[in-house]
Each structure stands twice: as structure tokens, then as C-alpha cells.
Amino acid sequence: MLQGHEVIVADNFFTGRKRNIEHWIGHENFELINHDIVNPLFIEGTKKKPNLWKTFFLFLVDQIYHLASPASPPHYMYNPVKTIKVNSIGTINMLGLARRVRARLLFASTSEVYGDPEVHPQKETYYGNVNPFGPRSCYDESKRVAEAMCYAYAQQVLLFLFKINRNKRNFFLGRY
């Protein structure tokens, strides 16, 4: 933002805290929207129109960082259905937005998609040791589904770059 980049943050603060970003509130290049990505987000277009922000957001969007998800076991176990929705429906909504505005999307995944791995460190070719009914499955399995959706969009749409980040393990899908 200090270099002139405009940043829009959409957060419902389910696990995040407003204090983490409050120092940016009021900055000319920062916009905060209290929003749950389980619901579609319409921030597209070419020009900022502040009067319309409650119903339809008009901004130039060229990069989307999908970081939404409870990541701590106490947070995702508190509401497992919400965790699954954020990682599945929320990812569909972010992929749809990226497709509409032809933006690049980074999806924050996790090495938890491997479950309780029998191999250390895991390579991208390792499929994991997962338990679809365990206490952590709401997080692990929904992140796996989200990765599969990113891959499917990359194969079917081929309009923009998808990048999946698994805690220091990055790989690309689609094309630039």
C-alpha cells in the first residue's frame, strides 16, 4: 500500500482480529469489508465508487489472496461445518470472482491435506494418510476439496494463474 497498491480486505473476523489490520484503517489505499466469503463477493469493475460499497463493489481487481479458513484446531473444531463451507463454498466463490475479473488467485492450503503422513518430508506426489471421519477431517478434507477445485478451474478455464501454497511448498496450476 505504501508503494501505491490498493488493497481490499474481506473478512468476517470469525478467527481473525481487527486489531491486526487497524493500523491500515483510514489509509487511502486500504478498504475493509466485513464479509463472509461463503456468500458471493462482488468486487469488480474498473473504478472505485464508494457510495455503492454496501451493494456492489466496483474496483479493479487483479490479484486475489484466498487466505480465509480457521487454521487452528480449536478454531476449526469449534464449528466444523463452517470450516467446510469456507474451504469449499468460499473457494468456489473466490474462483468465480477470479474468473469474472480475470484475476490471479493464490489459495492458502496446508500440509494437513496429507493427513497424518507416513513420509517426512512430503513430496507433491505423496497422496497422504487421511482419515475422512476424524476430528481434524473438517479442515483436512475441505482443504483437499478446495485444492481439487483450483486444479479443475485451472484445467477447464485456463484464463489465469492459480497458485497453491502449502506452508512453504508452492506450486502452480494453469497458466500466467
Residue range 58-110, pLDDT digits in tens: 456 888 999 999 988 899 999 999 999 999 999 999 999 988 888 888 898 88
Of 85, 74, 76, 69, the C-alpha closest to 11 is 69
Name the residue among 79, 80, 104 with its Cα closest to residue 94.
104
Q: Cβ neighbours of residue 33 under 8 Å, at least 6 residues apart?
A: 8, 9, 10, 11, 41, 43, 53, 57
What is the CATH classification number for the domain harbouring 15? Answer: 3.40.50.720
Q: Is residue 1 part of a domain?
A: no
Question: Cα(61)–Cα(38) distance, rounded to whole angstroms?
Answer: 19
Contact 36, 16 (CB under 8 A): no
Count of domains forming the chain: 1
| 3-class DSSP assignment, residue 30 | strand
Question: Helix, strand or coil for residue 155?
Answer: helix
- Which residues are the active-site residues? 139
Residue 111 domain boundaries: 7-174
Classify residue 106: in a domain, yes or no. yes
Residue 115 lies in a domain: yes
Q: How confident is the model over 99-152, as pLDDT tens digits?
A: 888 888 889 888 777 777 788 777 778 777 888 898 889 999 999 999 999 988
